[in-house]
Amino acid sequence: MKLLTHNLLQSPGTRHGYPLAIEAEKVETVETEFNPDFLVRMVEKLDYPGLVATIATVRHRHAAARPRHALAQRARDTWSHRCSDHAAALAPQLGMQESLPAAVPANFGEDESFLKALHHVLLEIEIVDGHLICPETGKRFPVKDGIPSML
């Protein structure tokens, strides 16, 4: 699932089920042909603040609540450690160290570095396996082989 697709998804049957959080287990980078005209047209259709927020949550995931039992705590700590390792590994793939600004530049149609960064994030990052998580209900939707199941 590309982040372009993710930007268009909402948790079914909710009022505030957007943007869905991403818990990625497997991510791949797939090179695609750069088409600046397509990106210029897509900027108007994107929820750009939602895209920036999603990237931040993928990069900076933290364990949510602390479990009460010691065994559960150890499992949570292990999970949290793996997530932080994964988030650190994912950040370079997302190309976000220096790329997308917090807001769309006024002259975005002429800003090739912005369009290339947007192209990379929207079209070249592929969430292969993981989960999408509704911010309203906490419901988890699996992503398997790049296909999100919103049922």
Interval 105-140: pLDDT, tens: 999 999 999 999 999 999 999 999 999 999 999 999
Encode 64-130 in three state secondary structure. CCCCCCHHHHHHHHHHHHHHHHHHHHHHHHHCCCCCCCCCCCCCHHHCHHHHHHHHHHHHHEEEEEE
Mean pLDDT of the chain: 80
Nearest to 133 by CA among 28, 37, 18: 18
Distance CA 143, CA 149 (A): 6
**Tokens encoding 75:** 């499992």
Nearest to 30 by CA among 113, 119, 144, 98: 119
pTM of the complete model = 0.72
Q: Dihedrals φ, ψ of 56, to 5°?
A: -65, -40
Interval 44-80: pLDDT, tens: 999 999 999 888 877 544 333 333 344 444 444 443 4
Q: What is the pLDDT of residue 59?
A: 57
Q: What is the pLDDT of residue 73?
A: 45
Q: What is the pLDDT of residue 100?
A: 86
Distance CA 117, CA 45 (A): 17
Q: What is the pLDDT of residue 67?
A: 38
CATH fold, domain 3-148, is N-terminal domain of TfIIb (2.20.25)
